[in-house]
A and B are shown apart, each in its own frame.
Chain A
């Protein structure tokens, strides 16, 4: 049974349909990439799946249960975590405390949470920054902190919204490794990303959105050769194999 099933999601803001009939499935242990031009509705889909905003139409089925419209904190308790595209650190707290807050949601006491927090920080490579104020981090570190906080809530499904922003190519490689590492633990992942190198390296399948609708889906190799995808998103430069 798929861990996530999204059925005919629609989101209208006034007269504008930001998402107009998106359906897809994520199998257990699978990594699905959601790509598409800016404004295609990718983050809006995440917002609906993660309970941040209710869909106008459509259903979200998580682990077999209909969770459409449930709040983020309820979904998190069931095992769904997300990172935000525009990062939302707890700015006046240290990196360590940021992760502590996330750990505490699933731990019974402070001591247990502390141990987990240290573990998460090491795994995401933030251990050396543990006492730095989150508000003073660079964008790349902030993105990593988003991942750390989401991981700390021990999700079964992780929604990552553009986690590679601000990273140099070697840092992107390390982030790819981290994603593989998380996936090996059995965490299913849906990732929104523009850095195609990362998408190709991690995705088992891809769904391409444009103007709120899916225009292609399937295995990565096939999708990136799809004409519509090249025209709408990748550009001829990518297709020419730069």
Chain B
């Protein structure tokens, strides 16, 4: 579904990602793991055109390397940035409606809103509030909901559980597995145990390069991953 080839990303003159190539297969959950600052967000933002890059990105066969960010939603790629980034002066409802702005999703907007509110009941209580007045975690839920409103074919989730309490976190991961049926998902996640348990495949990023890749199970059992990312001590022989 998505093919990334020799991606090099730059912030001005500073290179953050080197020669990253990978693919995302339709209907799978792909996890991108790495320590903080490794380049996971940079890779996601490069894909949707928010960061300068060289290399090619193709989506369902077409080259989208030079497509501007604002066309991505229409195409079916939805990016939920980490750090919420909701529209603070719009209400929760308005944020969700805006999320469903593109043509494909407009017709099913009502259903999608119900779906999002079922997933995040807390938002139902806050429909008329300005998004800026929500708590941090509530804003994160709203950001994810807004991303879902676009009915994406490919959903890029950047730290969706950041700042979210344990119970809604479980919900989010359950929902991610549910929406996998309709939407391919790329997931950057701090709760690595969760991410690795629900993903089909994953890549580990170190210092802006891919260091490891494999199926979810392979990664979970990989000793390097276990010590560096999961913080598990190697069992003494």
Contacts and interface: CB of A to CB of B under 8 A. Distances in A.
Contacts of A38: 122, 135-138, 140-141, 163-165, 168
B107 interface: no
Given A165-B190, A169-B192, A233-B167, A39 B36 contact: no
A139 B165 contact: no
Nearest to A37: B165
Given A140-B35, A140-B36, A235-B170, 8 more contacts: A13-B133, A39-B137, A138-B38, A168-B34, A194-B137, A233-B165, A235-B167, A238-B166
A173 interface: yes
A42 to B, nearest CB: 8
Given A38-B168, A170-B229, A139 B136 contact: no
Contact of A194 (B35, B84, B165, B231): B165
Contacts of B76: none
Contacts of B50: none
Interface string A24-43: 00000000000011111111
B115 interface: no
B82 A169 contact: no
Interface in A42-97: 42-43, 85-86
Contacts of B165: 36-38, 194, 233
Interface string B153-174: 0000001001111111110000
Interface in B205-237: 228-231
A129 B14 CA distance: 13
Interface of A: 13, 36-43, 85-86, 136-141, 162, 165-173, 194, 196, 232-235, 237-238
Q: Indicate the member of A137, A141, A168 with the most B CB atoms within 10 Å.
A: A168
Given A165-B162, A170-B228, A136 B11 contact: yes
Nearest to B16: A136
B135 A173 contact: no
A36 B7 CA distance: 41
Given A38-B138, A170-B229, A235-B166, A86 B83 contact: yes
Given A86-B83, A168-B192, A39 B162 contact: no
B37 A169 contact: no
B117 to A, nearest CB: 15
A162 B36 contact: no
Contact of A39 (B11, B135, B230): B135
A173 B229 CA distance: 11
Nearest to A41: B135
Contacts of A170: 35, 228-231
Contacts of B164: 38, 194
B75 interface: no
B134 interface: yes
Given A39-B122, A141-B36, A166 B136 contact: no
A17 B226 CA distance: 45
A162 B166 contact: no
B162 to A, nearest CB: 5
Contacts of B170: 235, 237
